[in-house]
Structure 1
Amino acid sequence: MTTSPPKYLQEDSLSEEYKKLLSNLPKEKGLVGSYIYNYQGCWTSPRLIQGVIACQQQFQAEDSAIILATTPKSRTTWLKSHLFALMNRVKYPIFEPNHPLLVKNPHVLVPSL
């Protein structure tokens, strides 16, 4: 019985521009039946490459921007909490009874791309 890879790993939904780029990249067979590609020294799925390129082309950082990048299930909530506390330590002293981290989820306080 052959199973197809999950939708997010399938190359069918990629634009022609990205398919052309992928055809020029080194590739290897992935664990779930699809290919992974080496883009800028990192092996990853074609859908993630599309997201990386979109970010590289469209993201405009500000002088005060901080990018916190983690993989899923790698304590992102914990890291966001620490980042918020660090960046706002003057505005919200740690022992303040109404500290935002006591009443709001860190994912609400620290936005994602």
Structure 2
Amino acid sequence: SARLQAERAKRQTSTFTLDILAQELQAQGKYNEAEPLYREALEMDREALGTRHPNTLIAINNLAQVLQAQGKNDEAEPLSREALEVQRQTLGDRHPNTLSSMNELGALLQAKGDLAA
């Protein structure tokens, strides 16, 4: 219905706005302020789009990156692994988004000193 489409569009606009604000805060080094915005955007994307949607996967990676920037590597790792696993299944190993996620996870594991994983 038109009403449902309008609600969906409104939710996507809200998620986009949260993401832009979080990116700006992250760029300013205000990671602790960006984190809750990324969390809210991810929650909205999971609910509206599902876990396998590309926008949700980007939201997962965004949250993982801001967590890593704060040294919360143990919290960031499962998110990075989740995004990579779904991207490998849906996009394949050679897709640019998958490769980017592999790189992010590698950097995270290196920061943790866990290169054997």
Higher fraction of helix? 2
TM-score range (shorter-chain normalised) is under 0.3
TM-score (norm 1): 0.26
Q: Of the two, which has the highest radius of gyration?
A: 1
TM-score (norm 2): 0.26
